[in-house]
């Protein structure tokens, strides 16, 4: 039964555009416009056709092949039609259709770029009894509408188990004569059918609910697109309407909490922050765990442009060390979709770069029709979400007196956190122009934003331009697709550093916590109060330290596709990216941070470009029940990067800065470097579909990289997957289950983020010279040994998955189990001494990740004007280091997460086999002895727990009531430990009197003689539930024909966090160093998070 | 249709033909050791790198710290005001070192990477087509490598002896006995000395601070002086011979004051310094951070420093009490109430005079706890940030005199010993001795060379490292304490290494 239903359901060929359109509620305005605007273009397409006695189905299939037009029909109409004989060459579509349907009881109309075939209004179906033979027939009239009450024209009204049929007219009205006990079946493409017993009524109106079409959603995968139902790998896609709303700190935040298996954690609360994105856990110990980002087909480098500025030789960095976010220059408003490729079947097509998962980003393109101008804008206000409870002035005085310590009383009371935090205002605007004809589609946009940081003197200005043009030529055989994106961010970075280490260590937020609260900001003469030698007035950072970063990126891609001969086509893609980062820093002469430098500047420039050439041949053919889609490609990508840095000091005037380096008396450092790498690949993929029941995908990529050692230049990355859509089987008769697909995949991918020039012996100049005879001799030394065996990290992954839809897909979801093993880990292993270098990169050891992922989504309530859509995702990942050795190298453990500024030379975490990455290792705190000294488990150093969460989850809810919408996103993490390094540093009495301490020292009973120590005392549960986002929107009904959409909304971000964590925020990746992998779960002096409220509007004109 | 095919073929051909298939790495300025080293200048650029690498044996980092830290003259107390608390330091101070001590591990890396650099440079110099021009550079490299091995032998006793640039993973070196390392150091130094120029034959203005014969003799003197500790066999006669080589060269003499050897203005000019490491932070060539690390913050005011020092490294009562009050060397220590250079009290912002007292807490010391040592005086220093440009003194003539004194005494010639010790004492206005004992010799060295990196070696040689106690070292130790543990990280990297007894 089910099978039959499925076959008779209205079918249509999908493409992305039609799907998006169909998923939107059909409004009268839109309908009218599309009919008017598209008719001409659609009808004008040329057809060549020569058939004899063909069925209409066959003819339509041929027309579909030759044009981009979708033809929608209810196959139940196609009974007893006359065979078609026609022979035309380069004829207009309209004429061909007219000719084919001339003698049939059928009519057609253009609806949203689609052609819908319906019954002729006044003609009965052939074979239908001419006059109703029933007794007590009634004429029923009424109106078919959608959920919003907008009329649906062309809906089919049919008597159940009989022939009588009617079609609704342009206003949705219908008339039909039926027996009074008949049951009417109302149906229309894209909507759920409804059965209504007549029960003698003569007037009957019906509101049809939208059908969930997620099965036919198109998802962007590597090198192409697929229908969701045909996907055999673990792939999750998110389109713009489901992105997180409100002003986002970064594009990655758009998908935060939305996709199972993907953990996106902002590294800080500052504008333009970088993110730690982990897809199915971390695979690499020392290499990059970041996914590969592919923007409009161009894989981009994530390792470019790290800005750092080290001020003192004691290793202290006042300046922040965050890497540049690779997506920073993209405007979220320009992003159409983000697809996360998770298992090897999906990522193997990216070979040696796929092991950490792939995020494929597609930007928006134009839609054919009248030009449309859209504006999106929002104003936001943000405040710090939480402050640290340090001793207030009076508490400080009384604690110090009670401890008999010398009190330096400034006589005032200052909350230093209040002094450096502010209410931050931001505005963000983007305007786009889009439209096009059958031949050419375009969309261009410009965005501008100015985001203040909640810390004084930090802000981010961004501007970007995106232009996408698609042009079809040569009868749609040739297609050009040009995408251009340019973006610039200029930011003033607050000197907030999370690498504050030794005595001289300082940064703006650290000082705000430890600076003497009895001092005023300024002294009597109006200058900053400092407490030499080390305590520097927190507010002085905002005027005396400048740290500017300017980041720019140009991304261009031209794709040329040509249909050589059905079914073979070729696509040549040329991509170019150019990125630069300038970082200029200056410390005023008077500020003690520049201790001794008398004005200090650092000028850094990073620049890189990549060029990409890809040729992909595509074969796409269906024959009978078989469908084959195969690609074979060649890709060449070259990356070049260079950098230079000058540090100078001793300025005559603070005005010179980096603008005028000639004003410096000493050039402390000049350095420059250049690097490149080349990646050459051949790849192929076959998708085979049998009867929509059995699906098979096989992929292989061969990658060669200049980074690899001479003996391992090339690697193969194969994968295969099968899927079975059980719900399509004849025997499958569970009515409640509308879709059921099982998938299995296995494959091998790699991680080649090993840096350049790591496999060969090199010799180079050092920054430091040596003075001989009063002259500086440039020092040239060996830098590293050759490792001709160096290669990528290899990840093999098994994935077993299930997709299901229940109750006509009202509830749908997926479940995945995966197990992946990463071997040949790129480790910086200790080299046996004596040697020129102390460590060297080699392929050593292995790590395992396994877990489950669950995604559920659906419509919980849909009643009249009210609907509630909900989605939930859940993931659990178990990470375990299997080995740190290979045949040659024996490793037992790797220390990680240095305890900066607390206990020098010690580490919080240990990587060792049998335990997960992020295992905390140290002494277990057991309490205090009689002297107020900490006691520990006598067993000594031991495993204290893990920074890996037991599970993560997210849930989104969208409520719609008439023109109102309410969206809520909640997200959480459970079962992880976080090292509260900030409290470890600030939570001891021995900070006093030189440095302020947390209020907890008043009552914790710990003696002032207790030195700072790392133990389980400072590990806290990091579980949390956060309301990331809540948005209330209202679509203003406008009758003007020029305004097609007008929406206003209010968004609140980071509205609350439920957690037992005592620090600022349990979701942290503070230990963000300029290179290497930040350890998980270390909270140390991060830029605090904000709570943000935004008011926004979007308006579209046509 | 034909036109489109042509277009297509043109596009494809154009792009496919531009596709490069080369996967070689572009080196962009990185050189290959196989093609560099064509002339003396290029050779010098790498030999200078070995000097630079060895610099840390007198800088403020480890290994210098571990050469003084377990003794009665050096402490790094954790400060109550925050900072400096480091269990690694405390363990060394209390003779409680464990194999995972980070400070010891750092010293190992520093010393062995110097040896590794020397090995790699030597290999390249010897295989260069221009090798015959590099006689001096090869001798310098051998001597500098032997210097590194001297420290390795001194700290860890039994260490891997490697002379190739790269160790193959399947051929890891085992530990070599201390006595064999001694033999290697001795042989290499003697060979290097033969090929190096004598101090009197070089133009000091252009040659300083490269190694001369005498610099290597002074290292040999130190090696022989400690031979009994390293090999069980005393080599007093050879120690005296090496001292005589230096003395008889006539190139060296005592300066009027000890402090003269440490002044920035005197670099390359003193008669007393035999071997030093050059420092010039303004040219990004090393930095002298003694004042930054050690002095109290108020010294910024006293010496008009462009920075505030960090109040870290300190000394204690035992070291201070060794000096007579009129001994000029006591003025190199800071203790008691402090004064500005003009004699007014050195006071903080509250008007309280700084009074440096003996250190009583090593975990939470007050800022005025601990006495300070100031040999690299700020006088005449050009500051680059918080760094001075005083050259780091490695060996000076006073050491030759006291080494000869001790070796003479131990071989029965007490008269020579007395004369030499009094020569040192007289210079600093200390009372002349009438007779000399071993204890006199030990204490004279302690007074003369405080914080110059000799104290631990001396205390081990005299036995006081084990059988005496002082402020933060409260118990006596077995002799195994005289050798540091091989760091656990090294044992993991090279399983063939054998841990020293007692760890």
DSSP states of B273-327: EEEEE--BGGGTB--B-HHHHHS-TTHHHHTT-SS------BB-HHHHTTS-TT-
The number of angstroms, rounded, from the C-alpha of A836 to the middle of its chain's C-alpha atoms is 42
| Minimal Cβ distance to A778: which of B29, B45, B210 | B45
Identify whether the C-beta of residue A522 lies closer than 8 Å to the C-beta of residue A1100: no
Q: What residues contact B1, with CB distance under 8 A and at least 6 apart?
A: none
pLDDT score for A787 = 84
The DSSP string of A686-723 is EEEEETTTEEEEEEEEEEEETTS-GGG-EEEEEEEEEE
The DSSP string of A136-160 is SEEEEEEEEEETTS-B-TT-EEEET
For chain A, give the percent of residues with pLDDT over 90: 35
Identify whether the C-beta of residue A260 lies closer than 8 Å to the C-beta of residue A875: yes
For residue B413, give the DSSP letter.
-
Q: Which of A641, A770, A838 should be substituted to probe chain B, the one whose Cβ sees the most B Cβ atoms within 10 Å?
A: A770
> Which of left, alpha, beta for B374 (phi over 0: left; psi -120 to 50: alpha)?
beta
Q: Please name the residues between 906 and 945 in chain A that touch chain B, using a CB distance below 8 Å.
A: 906
Cβ count near B1 (within 10 Å): 9
Tell me the backbone φ, ψ of residue A745, rounded to 5 degrees.
-140, 155
A592 shares contact with chain B (CB less than 8 Å)? yes
pLDDT score for A18 = 40
> In angstroms, rounded to a whole number, what is the distance separating the alpha carbons of residues A782 and A761?
8
Identify whether the C-beta of residue A685 lies closer than 8 Å to the C-beta of residue A333: no
pLDDT bucket at A381, cuts 50 / 70 / 90:
very high
Three-state DSSP state, A292: strand
> In angstroms, rounded to a whole number, what is the distance separating the alpha carbons of residues B139 and B134?
8
**What torsion do the CA atoms of A264, A265, A270, A274 make, to the nearest 10 degrees?**
-60
Q: Please name the residues between 818 and 837 in chain A that touch chain B, using a CB distance below 8 Å.
A: 829-837
Q: Residue A472 pLDDT > 60, yes or no?
A: yes
- Higher-confidence residue of A682 and A309: namely A682
For residue A102, give the DSSP letter.
T
* Cα-based angle A335, A340, A345 (whole degrees, multiple of 5): 140
- Higher-confidence residue of A405 and B11: namely A405
Residues of chain B found within 8 Å of residue A994, distances taken between Cβ atoms: 79-82, 367
Cβ count near A1040 (within 10 Å): 9
**pLDDT tens column, B52-111:** 999 999 998 889 999 999 999 999 998 776 678 787 888 999 999 999 898 999 999 999
B355-356/A846-863 β-pairing: unpaired
Identify whether the C-beta of residue A234 lies closer than 8 Å to the C-beta of residue A346: yes
**pLDDT tens column, B286-320:** 999 999 999 998 999 999 998 888 889 999 999 99
| Minimal Cβ distance to A613: which of B18, B31, B102 | B18
Q: Please name the residues between 680 and 709 in chain A that touch chain B, using a CB distance below 8 Å.
A: 680, 704-708
A564 shares contact with chain B (CB less than 8 Å)? yes
Identify whether the C-beta of residue A288 lies closer than 8 Å to the C-beta of residue A303: yes
pLDDT bucket at B41, cuts 50 / 70 / 90:
very high
| B315-354: burial string, b at 16+ Cβ within 10 Å, e else | bbbbbbebbeeebbbbebbbbeebeeeeeeebebeeeeeb
Tell me the backbone φ, ψ of residue B424, rounded to 5 degrees.
-70, -45
Inter-chain residue contact B300 with A533, CB threshold 8 Å: yes
Span B461-485, average pLDDT: 91
Q: Residue A14 pLDDT > 60, yes or no?
A: no
- Higher-confidence residue of A402 and A55: namely A402
Cβ count near B86 (within 10 Å): 21
Q: Residue B448 pLDDT > 70, yes or no?
A: yes
Is the complex ipTM higher than 0.95?
A: no
- Closest by alpha carbon to A761, among A725, A734, A790? A790
Inter-chain residue contact B209 with A1011, CB threshold 8 Å: no
How is residue B223 written in tokens? 């090696």
pLDDT score for A514 = 92
Q: What is the mean pLDDT of chain A?
A: 83
CA dist A150 to A153, A158, A168, A172, A1047, Å?
10, 21, 13, 8, 19
pLDDT score for A920 = 95
- Higher-confidence residue of A26 and A798: namely A798
- Rg of chain B on CA atoms, in Å: 26
Residues of chain A found within 8 Å of residue B35, distances taken between Cβ atoms: none
**pLDDT tens column, A761-791:** 889 898 889 999 999 999 999 888 888 888 8
Q: Please name the residues between 955 and 1014 in chain A that touch chain B, using a CB distance below 8 Å.
A: 990-995, 1008-1009, 1011-1012
| Minimal Cβ distance to A763: which of B30, B113, B210 | B30
Q: What residues contact A929, with CB distance under 8 A and at least 6 apart?
A: A935
Q: Residue A4 pLDDT > 50, yes or no?
A: no
How is residue A817 written in tokens? 């189990």
> In angstroms, rounded to a whole number, what is the distance separating the alpha carbons of residues A908 and A899?
6
Three-state DSSP state, A643: strand
Inter-chain residue contact A533 with B310, CB threshold 8 Å: yes
- The distance of A483 to chain B (nearest Cα, Å) reads 19
């Amino acid at each position: 039964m089910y099978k039959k239903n499925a076959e008779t359901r209205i079918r249509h060929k999908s493409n992305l555009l039609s799907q998006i359109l169909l998923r939107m509620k059909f409004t009268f305005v839109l309908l009218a416009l599309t009919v008017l605007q598209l008719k001409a273009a659609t009808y004008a397409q040329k057809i060549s056709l020569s058939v004899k006695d063909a069925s209409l189905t066959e003819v339509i299939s041929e027309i579909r092949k030759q044009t981009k037009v979708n033809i929608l029909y209810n196959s139940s109409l196609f009974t007893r039609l006359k065979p078609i004989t026609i022979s035309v060459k380069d004829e207009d579509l309209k004429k061909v259709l007219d000719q084919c349907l001339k003698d049939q009881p059928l009519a057609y109309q253009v609806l949203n770029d689609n052609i819908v075939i319906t019954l002729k209004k006044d003609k009965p179906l052939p074979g239908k009894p001419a006059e109703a033979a029933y007794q007590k027939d009634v004429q029923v009239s009424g109106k078919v509408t959608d959920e919003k009450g907008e009329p649906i024209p062309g809906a089919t009204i049919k008597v159940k188990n009989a022939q009588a049929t009617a079609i609704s007219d342009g206003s949705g009205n219908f008339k039909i004569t039926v027996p009074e006990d008949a049951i009417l079946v109302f149906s229309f493409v894209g909507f759920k059918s409804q059965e209504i017993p007549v029960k003698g009524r003569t007037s009957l109106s019906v509101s049809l609910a939208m059908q969930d079409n997620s099965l036919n959603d198109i998802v962007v995968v590597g090198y192409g697109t697929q229908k969701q139902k045909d996907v055999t790998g673990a792939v999750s896609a998110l389109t713009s309407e489901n992105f997180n709303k409100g002003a986002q700190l970064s594009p990655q935040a758009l998908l935060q909490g939305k996709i199972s298996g993907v953990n996106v954690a902002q590294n800080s609360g500052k504008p333009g922050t970088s993110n730690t994105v982990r897809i199915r856990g971390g695979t690499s110990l020392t290499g990059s765990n970041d996914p590969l980002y592919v923007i409009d087909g161009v894989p981009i480098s994530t390792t470019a442009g790290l800005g750092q500025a080290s001020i003192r030789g004691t290793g202290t960095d006042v300046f922040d060390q965050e890497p540049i976010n690779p997506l920073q220059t993209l405007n979220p408003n320009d992003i159409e979709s983000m697809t996360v490729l998770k298992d090897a079947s999906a990522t193997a097509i990216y070979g040696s770069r796929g092991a950490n998962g792939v995020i494929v980003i597609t930007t928006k393109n134009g839609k054919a029709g009248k030009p449309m101008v859209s504006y999106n804008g929002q104003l936001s206000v943000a405040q710090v979400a939480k402050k640290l409870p340090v001793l207030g002035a009076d508490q400080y005085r009384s604690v110090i007196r009670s401890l008999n310590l010398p009190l330096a009383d400034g006589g005032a009371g200052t909350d230093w956190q209040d002094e450096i935090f502010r209410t931050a205002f931001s505005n963000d605007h983007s305007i786009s122009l889009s439209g096009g004809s059958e031949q050419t589609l375009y969309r261009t946009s410009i965005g501008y934003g100015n985001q203040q940081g909640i810390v004084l003197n930090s802000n981010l200005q961004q501007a970007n331009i995106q232009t996408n043009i698609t042009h079809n030529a040569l009868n749609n055989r040739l297609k050009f697709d040009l995408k251009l994106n340019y973006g610039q961010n200029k930011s003033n970075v607050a000197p907030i550093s999370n690498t504050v280490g030794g005595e001289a260590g300082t940064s703006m937020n650290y000082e705000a916590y430890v600076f003497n609260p009895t001092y005023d900001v300024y002294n009597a003469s109006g200058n900053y109060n400092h407490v030499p030698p080390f305590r520097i007035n927190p507010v002085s950072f905002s005027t005396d330290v400048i740290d500017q970063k300017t980041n720019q990126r140009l991304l261009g891609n031209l794709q040329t596709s040509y249909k050589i001969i059905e079914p073979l086509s070729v696509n040549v893609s040329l991509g170019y990216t150019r990125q630069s980062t300038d970082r200029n820093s200056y410390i005023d002469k008077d500020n003690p941070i520049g201790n001794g430098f008398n004005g200090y500047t650092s000028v850094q420039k990073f620049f890189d470009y990549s060029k990409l050439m890809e040729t992909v041949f595509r074969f796409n053919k269906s024959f009978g029940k078989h469908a084959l889609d195969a690609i074979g490609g060649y890709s060449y990508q070259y990356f070049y990067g260079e950098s230079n840095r000058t540090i100078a000091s001793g300025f005559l005037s603070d005005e010179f800065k980096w603008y005028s380096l000639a004003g410096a008396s000493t050039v402390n450092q000049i350095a420059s470097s250049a690097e490149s790498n080349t990646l050459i690949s051949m790849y192929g993929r076959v998708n085979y579909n049998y009867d929509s029941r059995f699906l098979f995908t096989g992929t292989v990529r061969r990658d060669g990289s200049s980074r690899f050692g001479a003996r391992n230049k090339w690697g193969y990355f194969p994968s295969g997957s099968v899927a079975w859509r059980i719900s399509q089987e004849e025997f499958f008769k569970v009515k409640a289950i509308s879709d059921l697909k099982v998938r299995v995949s296995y494959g091998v991918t790699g991680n080649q983020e090993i840096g350049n020039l790591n496999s060969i012996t090199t010799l180079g100049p050092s920054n430091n010279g040596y003075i001989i005879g009063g002259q500086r001799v440039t020092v040239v030394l060996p830098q590293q040994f050759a490792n001709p065996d160096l290669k990528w990290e290899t990840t093999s992954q098994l994935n077993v998955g299930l997709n299901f839809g229940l109750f006509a897909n009202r509830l749908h979801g997926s479940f995945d189990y995966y197990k992946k093993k990463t071997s040949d880990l790129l480790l910086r292993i200790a080299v046996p001494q004596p040697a020129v270098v102390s460590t060297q990169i080699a392929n050593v050891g292995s790590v395992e990740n396994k877990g489950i992922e669950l995604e559920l989504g659906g419509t919980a309530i849909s009643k009249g004007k009210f609907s509630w859509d909900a989605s939930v995702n859940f993931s659990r990942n178990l990470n375990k280091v299997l080995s740190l050795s290979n045949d040659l190298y024996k490793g037992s453990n790797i220390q990680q997460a240095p305890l900066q500024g607390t206990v020098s030379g010690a580490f919080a975490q240990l990587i060792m086999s049998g335990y997960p990455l992020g295992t905390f290792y140290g002494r277990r705190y057991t309490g205090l002895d009689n002297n107020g000294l900490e006691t520990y488990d006598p067993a000594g150093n031991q495993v204290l727990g893990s920074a890996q969460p037991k599970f993560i989850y997210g849930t989104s809810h969208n409520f719609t009531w008439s023109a109102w919408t309410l969206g809520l996103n909640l997200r959480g993490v459970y079962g992880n430990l976080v090292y509260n390094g900030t409290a470890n540093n600030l939570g001891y009495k021995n900070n006093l009197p030189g440095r302020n301490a947390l209020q907890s020292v008043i009552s914790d009973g710990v003696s002032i003689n207790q030195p700072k120590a790392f133990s389980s005392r400072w590990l806290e549960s990091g579980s949390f539930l956060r309301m990331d986002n809540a948005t209330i929107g209202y679509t203003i009904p406008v009758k003007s024909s020029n305004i097609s959409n007008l929406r206003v909304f209010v968004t609140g971000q980071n509205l609350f966090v439920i957690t037992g964590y005592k620090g600022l925020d349990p979701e942290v990746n503070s230990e963000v160093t300029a290179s290497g992998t930040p350890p998980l779960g270390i909270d140390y002096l991060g830029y605090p998070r904000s709570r943000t409220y935004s008011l926004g509007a979007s308006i579209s004109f046509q | 249709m034909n036109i489109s095919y042509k277009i297509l073929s043109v596009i494809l051909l154009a792009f496919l033909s531009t596709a490069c298939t080369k996967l070689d790495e572009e080196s962009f300025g990185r050189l290959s050791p196989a093609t560099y080293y064509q002339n003396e200048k290029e050779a010098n650029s790498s030999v200078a790198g070995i000097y630079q690498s060895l610099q840390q044996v007198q800088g403020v980092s480890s290994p210098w710290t571990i050469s003084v830290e377990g003794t009665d003259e050096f402490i790094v107390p954790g400060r109550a005001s925050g900072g400096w608390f480091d269990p690694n330091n405390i363990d060394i101070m209390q003779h409680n070192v464990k194999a995972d001590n980070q400070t010891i591990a750092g010293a190992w890396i520093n010393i062995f990477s110097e040896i590794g650099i020397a090995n790699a440079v030597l290999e390249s110099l010897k295989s260069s087509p221009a090798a015959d021009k590099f006689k001096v550079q090869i001798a310098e490299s051998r001597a500098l490598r032997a210097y590194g091995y001297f420290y390795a032998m001194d700290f860890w006793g039994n260490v891997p002896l490697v002379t190739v640039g790269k160790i193959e993973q399947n051929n890891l070196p085992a530990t070599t006995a201390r006595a064999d390392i001694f033999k290697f150091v001795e042989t290499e130094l003697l060979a290097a000395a033969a090929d190096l120029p004598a101090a009197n034959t070089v133009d000091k203005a252009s040659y300083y601070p490269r190694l001369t014969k005498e610099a290597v003799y002074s290292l040999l003197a130190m090696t022989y002086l400690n031979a009994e500790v390293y090999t069980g066999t005393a080599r007093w006669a050879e120690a005296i011979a090496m001292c005589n080589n230096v003395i008889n060269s006539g190139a060296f003499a005592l300066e009027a004051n000890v402090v003269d050897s440490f002044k920035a203005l005197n670099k390359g000019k003193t008669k007393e310094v035999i071997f030093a490491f050059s420092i010039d932070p303004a040219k990004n060539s090393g930095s002298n951070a003694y004042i930054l690390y050690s002095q109290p913050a108020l010294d910024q005011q006293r010496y008009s420093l462009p920075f505030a020092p960090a109040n870290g490294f300190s000394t204690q009562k035992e070291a201070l009490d060794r000096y007579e009050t009129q001994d000029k060397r006591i003025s190199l220590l800071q203790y008691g109430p402090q004064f500005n250079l003009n004699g007014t009290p050195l006071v903080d912002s509250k008007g309280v005079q700084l009074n440096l007292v003996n250190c009583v807490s090593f975990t939470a010391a007050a800022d005025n706890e601990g006495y300070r040592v100031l040999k690299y005086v700020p006088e005449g220093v050009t500051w680059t940030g918080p760094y001075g440009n005083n050259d780091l003194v490695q060996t000076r003539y006073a050491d030759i005199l006291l080494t000869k004194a001790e070796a003479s005494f131990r071989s029965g010639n007490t008269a020579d010993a007395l004369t030499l010790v009094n020569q040192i004492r007289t210079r600093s206005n200390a009372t002349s001795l009438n007779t000399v004992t071993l204890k006199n010799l030990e204490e004279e060295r302690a007074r003369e060379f405080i914080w110059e990196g000799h104290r631990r070696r001396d205390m081990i040689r005299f036995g006081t490292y084990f059988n005496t106690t002082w402020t933060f070292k409260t118990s006596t130790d077995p002799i195994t304490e005289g050798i540091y543990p091989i760091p656990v990280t090294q044992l993991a990297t090279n399983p063939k290494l054998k841990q020293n007894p007692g760890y």
